[in-house]
Chain A
Amino acid sequence: MKCQFCEKPATFHITELTEPTGPQVMHLCEEHAKGFLHKGASSPMAAIATALAKQLGQSGDDLEELDQKECPVCGITFREFRNSGRLGCPYDYTHFEADLRPLLINVHDRTDHAGKHPQRSAGTADSQARMIKLRSEMEEAIKSEDYERASELRDELKNMAAPLNPPNTETDDQS
């Protein structure tokens, strides 16, 4: 049996009895078991690890498939997220939405924001994703010294962000 968090064999089989939903079995390699056991139950990584383990259950095939899933904007795979506990870009909340929701419930008990809203809209998830992609393409163009393309992308990016920017704010993107 593989570890629930990496490709190594699971040598530790931990049954957690502290969860209110009942006993929960985790299969971990030595390294992940050490990390899991040494981290306090209150640390974010442990919360994510517990929630993901519960969510993923023990089906290796499902996990394998989910692990391969990749964000089209930042390129992060679900496996990378599982291993690091950190997402790659704002669009991940849209792309991995179905996979993240059980985790959010487990960590926060709720899934819908109830607090403050920003005064200005940053646009839709798609337009935010587009801006991130344009920026990355622009960096690539600069690296490959295709300055004409970089300049086009820069203009497009400016146009996308322009209506959202306050008046009289200098553009200060790196050139």
Chain B
Amino acid sequence: MKRDADFEQLARYTGEWMRGEGPESDIVISTRVRLARNLADFPFIRRCSDEDRLSIERTVRSRMETIADRLWESAQYVDLEPLSEIDRQLLVERQLISREIADSDGSRAVAFDASEGYSVMINEEDHLRIQVMRSGLDIENTWKQVNRIDDMLEEVVLYAFHPRYGYLTACPTNVGTGLRVSVMLHLPALVITEQMDRVFRSMQRINVTVRGLYGEGSQYTGDFYQVSNQVTLGYTESELLDLVGKEVAPRIIEYERKAREALLKNNRDDLHDEVSRAMGILSTARKISSEETMHHLSKIRLGISMGLIDKPDVKIINQLFLQSQSAHLQKLQGRILGTAERHARRASFLQQHLSGKDDATWN
């Protein structure tokens, strides 16, 4: 496993899961499956001493090294403790680590592969958080990969497991399978037609939660919603995967498609106008916040998916979503920027890429 990552280089590219490909990718951005696991011979993170945390980090790292060549083709291991705030933020923006682990203290780390499809967080809320991300709605393959990593880690570390309660986790809301299946959906038409409340209400009855782009506690920005299973205990992994992947996500996708059809039929001109204005603002603004950027990028993405505009490619919009965020902008600029500078830099960055003048940072 390669130690540490080149963050300047990282900021220039997007992971495979942001490519805008895969099943239902006009509406489904990505599928993520994560497993929460704890070592049997340590307290949970909340009651760990500094020595415990260090020992967990070292133990997991060295054990992972013994299986690294089987685990994934090229892995990077990043010690988060000595990292600058901006580099940690960059990893949050790429969804390789959670906001929680970025903001916590003490020994903690993340291992991820070059395509950024897999990541293992060490010393998050649980000792191990294993996650796999894929583009589009692809529950089965995502699960297969995360399960494979889990099986391999099980060979080298001892998991805390109870015959009745399953895999033991710091929060009782994750106990049992420790499995969270999340599908990231782009639902602008349901937002425009004011049907999201109805979707939220219907979801609450069937044990799934709907959250904003960066998960728990975050705001819903840019019409992106994450749907995931609420329960983890008493159901098999495949039941939980099916709940999200076969029952809930397809239903929401269908609602969104119907809402898009209705918009095309009844409000095509208004919608086209909105999409064009969004394009106009992002192509000409001299300064812009990340919230406003998200809002307009969302409209443009909708316009592309609905065939109202034919360029840019949805892949470029996905990249702009990622790279117009604060840490990415600052990394690409090579220095820390104040708020006003960031707004100006973001505007010129968007202008360059939407006009197609500068593609120097694209892969």
Please report A residues at the B interface, Cβ cutoff 8 Å: 40-44, 47-48, 73-76, 84-90, 92-94, 100, 103-104, 107-123, 125, 128, 131-132, 135-136, 139, 142, 157, 161, 164-166, 169-170, 172-174
Contact = CB atoms under 8 A, between A and B. Distances in A.
7 contacts: A84-B46, A88-B46, A107-B231, A132-B41, A135-B55, A139-B52, A169-B156
A122 B63 contact: no
Nearest to B41: A131
Contact of B158 (A40, A108, A157, A164): A164
Nearest to A157: B41
A170 B65 CA distance: 11
B108 to A, nearest CB: 15
A125 to B, nearest CB: 7
B175 A104 contact: yes
Given A103-B172, A174-B54, A115 B236 contact: yes
Top 8 nearest A-B pairs (CB, nearest first) are A110-B234, A113-B166, A122-B40, A88-B47, A90-B160, A131-B41, A42-B209, A44-B173
B168 A174 contact: no
A3 B55 CA distance: 38
A101 to B, nearest CB: 9
B303 interface: no
Contact of A174 (B55, B66, B150, B173): B55
A125 B207 CA distance: 30
Contacts of A73: 43
Interface string B160-201: 111111111011111111010000000000000000000000
Given A132-B42, A139-B49, A90 B231 contact: no
A173 B51 CA distance: 10
A115 B235 contact: yes
Contacts of A75: 47
Interface residues of B, number: 62
Nearest to A38: B217
Contacts of B162: 90, 93-94, 113, 125
A122 B161 contact: yes
A114 B236 CA distance: 5
Interface string B140-155: 0000000100110011
A41 B158 contact: no
A128 B210 CA distance: 36
B159 interface: yes
B154 to A, nearest CB: 5
B40 A113 contact: no
B168 A90 contact: yes
Contacts of A103: 172
Nearest to A85: B171
Contacts of A43: 216-217
A139 B51 contact: yes
Contacts of A164: 158
Given A43-B216, A44-B171, A44-B173, A128 B40 contact: yes
B49 A87 contact: no
A84 to B, nearest CB: 7
B62 A123 contact: no
A166 B62 CA distance: 14
Interface in B59-73: 59, 62-63, 66
A19 B54 CA distance: 43
Interface in B21-77: 38, 40-47, 49, 51-52, 54-55, 58-59, 62-63, 66
Nearest to B35: A116
Nearest to B235: A114
Contacts of A40: 209, 211
B93 interface: no
